[in-house]
């Protein structure tokens, strides 16, 4: 071989490598551009307000910020990780609600960088949406082998989901963005086992176990929905796979059983923090009664298309439907496309086994949880026997999780559909348009909340703990927001909402912000002797004193902004 030939071959290799590198950077640039566009669309409300109004409300929205502020105290000040600043002097109070540890890490970084609690919360939400977008793109591209344009379309549909923005006042639901990563790790782990790639099996399997434990600790709903889906999907997939694939899987499991045992051990260890937080609360009786709490929040047939009146495409066409937790419906275009994909999978089941199994699992979940006419509710019989079911009150939120397999099915079908490029482009644009929600809950007024924190100030040094009568002036100024929340949630009465939440939530935020515990608070589950409803009722001071005496507390102070001296010591 001549020297010229060697140099020519080297030049061609370098050009090919440069071309590959350039293509790789173009792909990364495209992913980044789509991600930024999705974030801009989803978070346009706070941005267009000049960062004066934020997603959420003064009820559940502020509870989330109080929990995030707890993680700031843990990371920046070394506070006890599972002990929040409310329900003092109870221990392990983190378990009364979702921990929000994953967004809490991003929030803590933003707070340590100088952001106030509301900007830091927005940045934490942006981080969770980014995780979800990248996870969905990776699941579709690397896990399911979908072409990059359709993978990015699926990620965009997931990141900008109508239901996600409509329910941003329950920001713990952003944890659904962790689920695509779990699915990707599971798919890659199975492949690695079948192909005898031991290191990849260890990495993906251990990663799945650790992330499963972290997701469970972060927010219970989405990991429980994912587990319920797996309970349906795995046996169906094994049946659909056929005898050849079942033998391959069984053979791989026998070859790699020591690794699988080690992965199971890692997963068990990763679940320990979750069990530490929530088992004590389960022992206290932290369960939702079916008839009073669960039945009203089961999805009905109309729930599946209830996208809220603010949906850009379907809101006005469908007319008014139930509000509150029934507005988790799917845009009709995506729903129809998923049904078509399922029908296609039935016809082509030999080449679409995974899609067929996902479709059948989704159908099974719908049959299980839907509140049909009359008393035809299968979930009433499954609720007592499925582990963890008693901790899930709002089953309709499962529709947010269902978006993941639905989008995956839709993108797999689009990739195989032999339609022209114009038809495909128009359909993709329509799918994106029908996810746009115009009525995002922008009810957190940043200036008003910062004024409350500043005007109330920290509790006096002589106060070891505190309670709140009124942290805002005047009380009636908060009524419009309460009535708006009533309309959105389908709640019964605005004043009742304020008497139950307002002072308790303000106390939680003050406790977290000023690092001083409060004896009151409000959460998914409350302590057994919680009696802090109605601060303007005549017996409220008596209930406070009863609690203080029962727990042997001293140096307790109250806050009432109507008084000339807002902070006052609790009289014996």
Split into its structural domains, the chain has a count of 2
Mode of pairing for the β-strands spanning 556-560 and 567-569: antiparallel
Cβ atoms within 10 Å of 540's Cβ, excluding its own: 19
- Residue from 331, 319, 322 nearest 300 by CA: 322
> Residue 531: beta bridge partners?
none
Question: Based on the domain organization, do 177 and 225 belong to the same domain?
Answer: yes
Residue 241 has a pLDDT of 93
Q: Which residues contact 155 (CB under 8 A, 6 or more apart)?
A: 34, 35, 38, 133, 134, 136, 137, 140
Q: Which two tokens stand for residue 52?
A: 């004066």
Instruction: Reduce the DSSP state of residue 222 to 3 states and report it.
Output: helix
Q: Read out DSSP for 363-379?
A: HHHHHHH---STT--TH
Is 383 within a domain? yes
Same domain flag for 409 and 483:
no
Specify which residues 311 forms β-bridges with.
437
Report CA-CA distances (Å) from 232 to 229, 235, 299, 362. Answer: 5, 6, 19, 8
- Residue 256 and residue 231 in one domain: yes
Name every residue whose Cβ is closer than 8 Å to that of residue 283 and which is 6 or more positions away in sequence: none
Residue finishing a domain among 433, 460, 491: 433
Q: Are residues 387 and 463 in the same domain?
A: no
Domain edge (last residue) among 372, 398, 433: 433
Q: What is the pLDDT of residues 414-463, one digit of tens each?
A: 999 989 999 999 999 999 999 999 988 899 999 999 999 999 999 999 99
CA distance 103 to 171: 10
- Same domain as 451, residue 563: yes
Judge if 147 and 191 occupy the same domain. yes
Both 470 and 422 in one domain: the answer is no
How does residue 482 score in pLDDT terms, banded at 50, 70 and 90? confident
Q: Find the distance separating the first CA and the last CA of the chain, reported in whole Å.
A: 100
- Asked, for residue 405, whether it belongs to a domain, the answer is yes
- 515 and 461 co-located in one domain: yes
CB 79 within 8 Å of CB 517: no
pLDDT in tens, 198-226: 999 999 999 999 999 999 999 999 999 99
Q: Could you give the CA distance from residue 330 to residue 173 in angstroms, rounded to a whole number? A: 16
User: Do 465 and 384 share a structural domain?
Assistant: no
Q: Could you tell me if residue 15 is inside a domain? A: no
Predicted structure pTM score: 0.93
Q: How far is CA 279 from CA 216, 220, 270, 275, 571, in A?
A: 13, 13, 15, 5, 37
Query: What single-letter DSSP state applies at residue 85?
Result: S
509 part of a folded domain? yes
Do 136 and 168 fall within a single domain?
yes
Q: Which of 406, 433, 460 is the last residue of a domain?
A: 433
Percent of the chain, pLDDT > 70?
94
Whether residue 329 sits in one domain with residue 184: yes
Q: How high is the mean pLDDT of the chain?
A: 92
Same domain, 484 and 341: no
Q: Residue 245: its pLDDT value, please?
A: 93
- Residue 2 maps to a domain: no
Please report whether residue 79 resides in a domain: no
Q: Is residue 85 part of a domain?
A: no
CA atoms within 13 A on the CB side of 519: 31
What percent of the chain clears pLDDT 90, i.e. is strictly above it? 79
Q: Is residue 345 part of a domain?
A: yes
Q: Which two tokens stand for residue 214?
A: 């972290």
Count CA within 13 A, CB hemisphere, residue 79: 26
Structural domain harbouring 151: 45-54+98-433
């Amino acid at each position: 071989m001549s020297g010229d030939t060697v140099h020519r071959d080297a030049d061609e290799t370098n050009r090919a490598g440069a071309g590959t590198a350039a293509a790789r950077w173009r792909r990364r640039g495209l992913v980044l551009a789509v991600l930024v566009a999705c974030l801009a669309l989803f978070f346009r409300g706070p941005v267009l307000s000049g960062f004066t109004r934020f997603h959420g409300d003064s009820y559940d929205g502020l509870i989330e910020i109080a929990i995030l502020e707890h993680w700031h105290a843990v990371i920046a000040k070394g506070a006890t990780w599972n002990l929040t600043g409310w329900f003092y002097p109870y221990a392990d109070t983190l378990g009364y609600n979702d921990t929000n540890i994953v967004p809490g890490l991003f929030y803590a970084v933003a707070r340590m960088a100088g952001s106030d609690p509301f900007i830091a919360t927005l940045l934490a939400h942006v981080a969770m949406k980014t995780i979800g977008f990248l996870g969905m793109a990776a699941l579709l591209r690397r896990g399911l082998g979908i072409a990059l344009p359709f993978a990015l379309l699926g990620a965009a549909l997931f990141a900008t989901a109508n239901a996600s923005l409509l329910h941003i006042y329950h920001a713990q639901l952003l944890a659904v963005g962790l689920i695509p990563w779990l699915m990707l790790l599971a798919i890659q782990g199975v492949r690695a086992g079948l192909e005898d790639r031991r290191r990849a099996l260890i990495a993906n399997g251990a990663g799945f176990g650790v992330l499963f434990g972290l997701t469970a600790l972060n927010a219970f709903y989405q990991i429980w929905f994912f587990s319920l889906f797996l309970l349906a999907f795995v046996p169906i997939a094994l049946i659909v796979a056929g005898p050849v694939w079942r033998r391959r899987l069984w053979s791989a499991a026998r070859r790699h059983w020591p690794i699988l045992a080690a992965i199971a051990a890692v997963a068990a260890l990763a679940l320990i923090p979750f069990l530490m937080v929530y088992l004590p609360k389960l022992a206290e009786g932290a369960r939702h009664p079916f008839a009073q709490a669960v039945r009203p929040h089961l999805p009905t047939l109309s729930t599946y298309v209830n996208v809220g009146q603010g949906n850009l495409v379907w809101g006005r066409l469908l007319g008014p439907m139930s509000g509150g937790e029934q507005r988790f419906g799917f845009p009709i275009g995506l729903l129809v496309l998923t049904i078509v994909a399922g029908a296609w999978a039935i016809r082509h089941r030999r080449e679409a086994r995974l899609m067929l199994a996902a479709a059948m699992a989704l159908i099974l979940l719908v049959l299980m949880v839907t509140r049909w006419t009359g008393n035809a509710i299968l979930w009433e019989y499954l609720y007592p026997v499925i582990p963890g079911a008693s901790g899930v009150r709002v089953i309709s939120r499962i529709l947010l999780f269902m978006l993941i397999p639905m989008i995956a099915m839709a993108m797999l079908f689009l990739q195989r559909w032999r339609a022209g490029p114009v038809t495909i482009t128009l359909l993709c644009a329509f799918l994106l348009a029908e996810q746009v929600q115009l009525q995002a809950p922008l009810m957190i007024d940043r200036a008003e909340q910062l004024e409350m924190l500043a005007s109330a100030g920290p509790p006096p040094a002589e106060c070891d703990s505190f309670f709140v009568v009124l942290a805002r002036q005047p009380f009636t100024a908060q009524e419009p927001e309460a009535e708006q929340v009533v309309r959105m949630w389908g709640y019964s009465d605005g004043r009742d909402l304020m008497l139950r939440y307002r002072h308790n939530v303000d106390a939680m935020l003050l406790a977290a912000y000023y690092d001083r515990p409060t004896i009151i608070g409000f959460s998914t589950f409350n302590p057994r002797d919680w009696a802090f409803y109605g601060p303007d009722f005549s017996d409220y001071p008596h209930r406070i004193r009863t609690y203080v005496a029962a727990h042997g507390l001293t140096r307790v102070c109250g806050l009432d902004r109507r008084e000339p001296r807002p902070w006052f010591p609790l009289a014996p």
